[in-house]
Chains A and B, each alone.
Chain A
């Protein structure tokens, strides 16, 4: 137990350090971006110098970098990251209105990836050759299909031709939301799903070929028991690790799917804000996406450690 707490503590410290560094990098990158954000704010074709100065002061655009950064970080930490430069609404409001959609979309896609990916991989590894070939062939195609291509095909087939699902939007209420998010979730998850299938298949194959599995089979243990206790258990940690990174990476991938399906989420807000050079919003969303990635990764590590306590000790030793 103590080992687990230390393990979690170390991971948490890692998360905090990563997010802190990321915040500096994100802020620095946008600070260094060319152009004058104040120009966008004042509008008009000949900005008034006084109006420009006022906006610069309001958004601290003229302060030294570290002062600006510090101002921003303290704002974010106190739960008030400021107002959108472009829309004039609090960033927390803009994000709040979209957070649920993105979380649902990532959750939905994760279920698809883990469910279909792991099952598909196991079936391919254990099944007949024809099944294996079919699954391997399908995943080859899917791995190569980026989300925006998948989106176009899915919309064409399932929304325009068959009219089973809506083309765009996020719906209202839980069931309607899930219904609206089905195509985006598939578009988002297909290539990841194929990847996880491949990894799972390979790991299960490796585990099957291990000496102790052959020995267990030779000793006359039931196949099902061998599979569960030796093969799958040994294949689980690497599959879990890969799945974890994949799922964590979904946060970054949502931009494409949300944009393609007109889903108001963090990803589409990020794209929109970046296009408008709404720095305040871009900074906060970027940070949130990084934090989402790191936190999910940490959770995967913890689950992995619970499954395989050796990892805890390894962590202690290093």
Chain B
């Protein structure tokens, strides 16, 4: 794949899930870095992006996989919304649509999810799919699973996907219809992620609040079943022998996940072969792993981004000129090479190109992105001019950073240095997870801050993932009360257009207007970083692993 090709961008939109993860544990924030090289051995060699690793040639007995963000808290899809949980649960429970390495979608548990009109989506279910216990997946299970996300008591991490839903009903033996209060074409895309996962109603109802816990587990249709969950130690998956799709049956008989959050231990475990693979290779161990002949480091397109966002509708950062000035003062290329160690690249806006790269309207999106102003190189003169023009009444800003996140702290330090050059004083404040999470829903908590540094990712396709939340009045992330009639009109057109090209055109027209306002100062995309022991292959190298049954593809490499 051409390294200069940009990932389609659904980045900003993904901030929503990011927030979710932030609330959960700040795990997402704590450490997503994209990786950047393919299988070349030279650590200083150019990074080549790969979509997926070569297909496996046969089965293996067992695979040991490390989760650098630690043990998941639950296997319940409703509680799945960060790296660790997604890495496992996507292999257990399946979604209605299947996410492909290029972020396009294919039929999954549904043969089709069709946007019939702006407020109606029809889901046609696959016949003959069974849960692990042999019971058949029915339309009732689908209605139950989707509706679960709307239960405030359950507080599903996917609840935001269902905000606009009016009703979910069985309309045929294998058909479910979703109706919306407000048009939302992003919904179909979301069915390729955790929000579209189907669980067994009988099992989940019986398990109640214990659904997804180490002692109870889950009941789904995926290529792996839950073998065991030894709290603190490991989670072992077992191949589902009766999986419905013979072509995508799991290659490994058992797949063991271990929780290793110490970077140096992790690197040693990979180098010694005790652990076979990992997504999110620690940047500290990257050079050693790339030099090693134990396995291969792959780099892929990602939707993971680093950004600084304005936190309130007053103060210096609420002025777009100050944000533009900061954006111009930070050199994104040196950000990518210093903070991301070369495993990422500058982005022009909050929606990363990977999210639309599987769309039929990809060309429209790409052209829209290309037309955006490139501010990756620092331009201090222009930046100073903007500050002078804005003449802020206050020159001191406070930036909130989640505590313990080294890469975000480095990001904040870079921003601090850039601000100083503009005559602004930037104070960095590290917040504990609960405090940081509060920022995302409590305006009072945000009031004491001007900017927030976050990382985020988008786990499903669709350019409309972030934008509405940032640009519409009352949007979840519209913390500056941004409002522009033409943007509002175009975004509403985009979210209700059933024709992909019409939707893309409206989105691009809106983006052209809101992108320069820097509702997020987007610094870079960080590549997906995958390490595989040389005995294995098959895992996707792009960030699509976050929502697809990737572990089932991991098998024997050609020796």
Contacts and interface: CB of A to CB of B under 8 A. Distances in A.
Interface string B124-165: 000000000000000000000000000011011101100000
A156 B433 contact: no
- In this complex, the interface size class of chain A, counting residues with CB under 8 Å from chain B, is 35 or more
Contacts of A47: 23, 155, 441
Nearest to B270: A167
A37 B232 contact: no
Contacts of B264: 151-152, 155, 260
Nearest to B271: A160
Contacts of A87: 73-74, 213-214, 231
A37 B432 CA distance: 11
Interface stretch (A9-17, A215-223, A272-280, A283-291): A272-280
B258 A36 contact: no
Nearest to A49: B152
Contact of B438 (A36, A151, A166, A259): A36
Contacts of B160: 44-46
A87 B258 CA distance: 17
A262 B259 CA distance: 7
B441 A276 contact: no
Contact of B153 (A37, A51, A155): A51
Contact of B231 (A34, A89, A168): A89
B215 interface: yes
B332 interface: no
B231 A43 contact: no
A97 B155 contact: no
Interface string B470-491: 0000001000000000000000
Contacts of A48: 152-153, 155, 159
- In this complex, the interface size class of chain B, counting residues with CB under 8 Å from chain A, is 35 or more
B90 interface: no
Interface in B208-250: 209-210, 213-215, 230-233
A110 interface: no
Interface string A228-264: 0000000000000000000000000000000111101
B261 interface: yes
Nearest to B153: A51
B19 A276 contact: no
Interface in A113-170: 151-152, 155-156, 159-160, 163, 166-170
Interface in A40-86: 40-48, 50-51, 54, 86
Interface string B71-88: 101100001010000000
A43 B20 contact: yes
B16 interface: yes
Interface core residue of B214, B262, B433, B438 (most chain A CB under 10 Å): B262
Interface string B195-218: 000000000000001100111000
B433 A168 contact: no
A149 to B, nearest CB: 10
Nearest to B233: A264
A98 B441 CA distance: 36
A302 interface: no
A166 B441 CA distance: 45
Given A35-B438, A40-B434, A262-B265, A45 B23 contact: yes
A173 interface: no
A44 B155 contact: yes
A39 interface: yes
Interface of B: 16-17, 19-20, 23-25, 70-71, 73-74, 79, 81, 152-153, 155-157, 159-160, 209-210, 213-215, 230-233, 258-262, 264-265, 268-269, 271-272, 274-275, 404, 431-438, 440-441, 476
A-B interface, 10 closest residue pairs, ranked by CB to CB distance from nearest = A35-B434, A264-B232, A48-B152, A42-B155, A35-B435, A45-B19, A167-B269, A264-B233, A51-B155, A43-B157
